[in-house]
Structure 1
């Protein structure tokens, strides 16, 4: 993880804008606290903050290319500000060396720069990894913003009076004076819909680079184009070949992603996905490969240890299964125990809202993840995890239960049975005027229309492809954003071997009957990788990130809500519904009968932090 930001202007000389560069760097410090750099020219300003992972000595940025023949015949050099990891960088380096390029460092950053010098923006098509970068091409007087295929790393931009500005996170644009943190009605609809729309943000004047997209800004204005779309193909492999291919690609992805010049670990949940990643990582770099014991990490709520209650989403606690996996690996394990006081720490809650640049669903899980990332340093700077497998292989309940599968909306909204998540405490008149259900339906129909299909699918396969696509392009984004933004508490670079475009392109096109082998969620993945794990892990059903079950947590949320409702200076007062707030504070059902759940209360607290502490202004 690193941070990038900058400005392009053809009307203002940016060569002396050091104070603006300072503001970018300060806002992005948590993404890269170890070092940084800046490049200031007449038309371009680029800023970089670094968390060193590959070639700590030689990977400094912004990195300036070569002019002349060594730079692909460019009369002026290209300048790169890059964050990410390219997992095929050694292969690309060999190819570029054969093409006449000379390398001065061992970093993947320089590989990206030389690739740009060789192929221009089309170099993105050759990169296998997680990345977001900016290239200022001085000769062409163009800036190119390029983001990985799944949006593992964030990248935002805005048009300004003097030209164009970009940054890893919106807060850097605000602090550097390039945009204002204003939320209009469309932004509020986006916030309340709990389904991120590619390209949109909740802020009026800020957009994001869509995953798999190149955004170019030059004297002729802004141009956007895609360099990758998920392909729909006929799957011709038989079952045994499909199983073998999945195993081969997953093994290759983990093998590439354990490469690191800093300490590495694995996040364990006690489930199938993280178990597979940890077992493969141990084979590559742990004791099984002749190295030190693999470092593993997990978290659990203290209350849940003795008082766990099963529910629709969580059949069993994680800790016993984590212990089984740790024993199986002989891993060097650390477990973080989270208390209700930890979850209610105002500083931690504010850090979540500020870190995410918006209120989110599941405040307590974000606080817990942030605390886990903080605990992992300095033992590990890089952490592999199992994220992405459920979205790709069909692990969630909404892939399995016909009630969810047939729901005419984003399937993850179904588990809340009509409960309004972010919007439960929002003023009812405003909610009706916003028509949030209509907004969600419009976004849903747009997403369905995008779904890649061959046209030869059965009705079942068509629907399961739709649900898979919705998960890969919408739901997965919330998971990846949490990992990226909350990882800054370490800071910690999270790697996701299942979110690999080679694997995704293959598995997306596998028929549902193969994916759901033996009628089990992720049946194909179990068949491909199950021999690496204890039987109890292979048999365990899907259990999402744990939630805090302590009744004291909800009571604490209610007490905090009461404080906010009595704070006349709070900027959130005009957004809340007085009657529903009263129902939460006084009714025996704590508002449940009024369509309010715990997530609604968390959202109200976050809106308070957002408006009073983060400077966000609503213009509705």
Structure 2
């Protein structure tokens, strides 16, 4: 993976603007620690920070293609998993290649098909191409949003980059937090997307945009299509298996060491099994990695979200395949020392220790590998979360992950923050409930309906769409930022858009065959895993159960609340949060409460470090 950034201006000459572009690119050095590159023309300045994965010599960027009077310049973050087939197709169309990189294939695909090139790609990507002859910028982002891309339009200029920090390094872009930004930070924090700051936008997944002096055109190039599913149960399971086998094989292609993440759950274990078999065919042993927490297992108490600890299942899979397994144990001290890393990686406050632990895991993996495969997104695609199976969630008109944690009274002071969390003045200004309802209705309006579907099936289709287009982005953002903060590329086979489209139309009764969540995926993995692992119930990503962690973040929170100069206190209900911090044993504390503490700590540091301006 890499970091990309650039600046287009139809009024001023950018040929001598290298200091500004270098400043923008420098903010992305963790994403691309191996090499940097720049390209300038009077109207365009492109930069690239490279993490070398394929073709170390030939994949240098920005990459140029010149034909007669036409010049195309590309800066690209990602991987095309079908680049070998595309290269052969383009060769048949008289294209000549000088490297073995997927970068050159992407550039030639644009030369051949123009903006329709995105319809030929299977991969994870965010890229920008400057067409010098037409004075036109084209940007695009992959189907599910694995790779990020932000842009800002300020006057006659377009500034873009893999992360918001690259845009903020440009003198035209300021960290101004308007009402929409405040809603994103203090109300809809369990929603992803958006540029947070005024004038900054995030290109949505499966979208592309064209910028010229005269106009801006943004459009989707791919979307889910609803149609009747005609395959029987056996055919469906076999096709899923064949798709995943093909996807994993493609995603193992690299010129650097590749490993997998292994939690002992169905998803990561299935991906690991397929990857291990590919390794065995080449007489190699796959390395696998799992996260664990010091002083945590002795305090573990199972619940509906985490019914079991991972370690025994991880060990079963590692023995069964077998793999060369590594258990990465992180301490409470490490979690606390790195609590602000997610905020700096996302350019906004985020999920706290769940993200911090991933960062620490990826730091260890990076010592031995550059690419890892993960089981991310199977729950969204196949329906693995508890809220897919809870009647009260199906009947609640809001996002399901919010409804799933509502109290019997129907309120939710943690997941949908809202009035209790906000200062009374800010709550009155931002109208949190109305804001969340607007986001919810906007999402529902996009759902591709299937004519003749029963009301219940239509509702389940809505739940799937909300998860795949809203909740999944939270997890993909988390995985991208924490991995790239260490210079590690994480690939996600369950985000292959072919698989996502196929599973989208599988009926709910078939998805839950054998009366278990993700039943059809379990059928697809038959014979690939130990039965106890294949039939293991969903258990969420692990967190530390060490009481020392919650005690520490509670103390840290109280220090902020007691500091008259702490900027976050202007936005939150100080007394409400103080009650949570000072009375830890009351009902509804637990994980929700320490998430709130993690978030407030990061929000306070973010307001300070980013010099956030509120008009």
What is the TM-score of this pair, normalised by structure 2? 0.96
387-396 or 600-609, larger mean C-alpha shift: 600-609
SS in 2 for 1:453: coil
Residue pairs, 1:121-136, within 5 angstroms? 121-136=115-130
Map 1:121-160 to 2 at 5 A.
Answer: 121-160=115-154
Q: Hey, what's the Cα distance between the residues in 2 that align with 1:294 and 1:593? A: 41
Contact residue 339 and residue 598 of structure 2 kept, 8 A: no
Tell me the equivalent position of 1:407: 396
Aligned equivalents of 1:65, 1:458: Cα separation in 2: 52
State the distance in 2 between where 1:60 and 1:220 align.
Answer: 32
Q: Quick check: 112-121 or 223-232, which moved more?
A: 223-232
TM superposition shift of 1:195: 4.3
Asked if the contact 1:425/1:604 (under 8 Å) is kept, the reply is no
Deviations 1:244-278 (A, max 9, x none): 11111111111111111100000001000001100
1:443 corresponding residue in structure 2? 439
Task: Give the Cα–Cα distance (whole angstroms) in 2 for the partners of residues 370 and 594 of structure 1.
Answer: 23
- Cα distance in 2, alignment partners of residues 225 and 603 from structure 1: 34
Deviation sequence 1:18-64 (CA, Å, 0-9, x none): 10111111111111011010101100000000001011111000000
Deviates more, 1:388-397 or 1:455-464: 455-464
- Aligned counterparts of 1:39 and 1:593: Cα–Cα separation in 2: 53
C-alpha separation in 1, matches of 2:328 and 2:495: 26
Contact 2:345 2:485 in 1 (8 A): no
Residue matched to 1:560: 556
1:419 and 1:597 in contact (8 A); partners too: no
1:294 corresponding residue in structure 2: 286
Does residue 468 in structure 1 map to residue 461 in structure 2? no
Equivalent residue for 1:79? Answer: 73
Indicate the residue corresponding to 1:545 in structure 2.
Answer: 541
Deviations 1:343-380 (A, max 9, x none): 211xx1222101011112x3110000000010101211
Aligned-partner SS, 2:340 = helix
- Whether the 8 Å CA contact 1:155–1:166 is kept in 2: the answer is yes
Deviations 1:510-531 (A, max 9, x none): 1111111121100000011121
2:31 — aligned with what?
Answer: 31
2:314 is aligned with 1:319: no
Query: Which residue is 1:515 aligned to?
Result: 511
CA distance 1:566–1:582, change in 2 (3 Å): same
Query: Using the alignment, how far apart are the partners of 1:587 and 1:325 within structure 2?
Result: 41
Q: In the alignment, what sits opposite 2:348?
A: 358
**Structure 1 residues 312, 593: CA separation in 2 closer, same or farther (over 3 Å shift)?**
closer
Distance 2:34 2:473 in 1: 27
1:184 touches 1:204 (CA, 8 Å); kept in 2? Answer: yes
TM-fit CA distance, 1:303 = 2.5
Q: Is the 8 A contact 1:158 1:178 kept in 2?
A: no
Per the alignment, residue 16 of structure 1 pairs with 16
CA distance in 1, matches of 2:587, 2:256: 49
Cα deviation for residue 305 of structure 1 reads: 2.2
Assess if the C-alpha contact under 8 Å between 1:451 and 1:469 holds in 2.
Answer: yes
Equivalent of residue 101 in structure 1, options 92, 95, 106: 95
What per-residue deviation string (whole Å, max 9, x for no partner) do you get for residues 213-257 of structure 1? Answer: 111111112111111111111211111211111111111111111
Corresponding residue SS for 2:327: strand
Partner of 2:386: 397
The equivalent of 1:60 in structure 2 is: 60
Distance verdict in 2 for CA 1:594–1:353, change over 3 Å: closer
**In 1, Cα distance between equivalents of 2:533 and 2:612:** 45
Query: Could you say which residue in structure 2 is the equivalent of 1:72?
Result: none
- Partner residue of 1:196? 191
- Give the RMSD, CA atoms, in angstroms: 1.7
With 289-298 and 40-49 compared, the bigger mean Cα shift is at 289-298
Q: Which moved more, 1:143-152 or 1:227-236?
A: 227-236
Q: What per-residue deviation string (whole Å, max 9, x for no partner) do you get for residues 406-452 of structure 1?
A: 22111011233213245554313312331112111111111111111
1:340 equivalenced with 2:304 (yes/no): no
Alignment of 1:143-542 (within 5 A): 143-191=137-185, 192-196=187-191, 200-284=194-278, 286=279, 288-345=280-337, 348-360=338-350, 362-417=351-406, 418-421=412-415, 422=417, 425-542=421-538
Q: In structure 2, how many angstroms separate the alpha carbons of the residues matched to 1:591 and 1:136?
A: 56
- Other structure's SS at 2:84 match: helix
How many residues in Structure 1 have an aligned counterpart in Structure 2? Answer: 607
What residue number does 2:409 align with? none
2:285 counterpart SS class: coil
Instruction: Please identify, of 43-52 and 325-334, the stretch whose mean Cα deviation from structure 2 is larger.
Output: 325-334
Q: What is the rounded CA distance, in whole Å, between the counterparts of 2:585 and 2:172 in structure 1?
A: 46
* Residue deviations 1:179-223 (CA, integer Å, cap 9, x gap): 11121111111222134365x332221001111111111111211
Give the distance between the partners of 1:489 and 1:263, measured in 2 at CA: 18
8 Å CA contact 1:14, 1:40 repeated in 2: yes
Q: Counterpart of 2:376 in 1: which secondary structure?
A: coil
Aligned counterparts of 1:387 and 1:456: Cα–Cα separation in 2: 32
Question: 1: distance between equivalents of 2:141 and 2:529?
Answer: 34
Task: After TM superposition, give the deviation of residue 593 of structure 1 in Å.
Answer: 8.0
Hey, what's the Cα distance between the residues in 2 that align with 1:30 and 1:40?
23
Runs of 5+ consecutive residues of structure 2 not aligned to the other structure: 407-411
The answer to whether the 8 A contact 1:255-1:281 is kept is yes
**1: CA distance between counterparts of 2:268 and 2:298?**
24
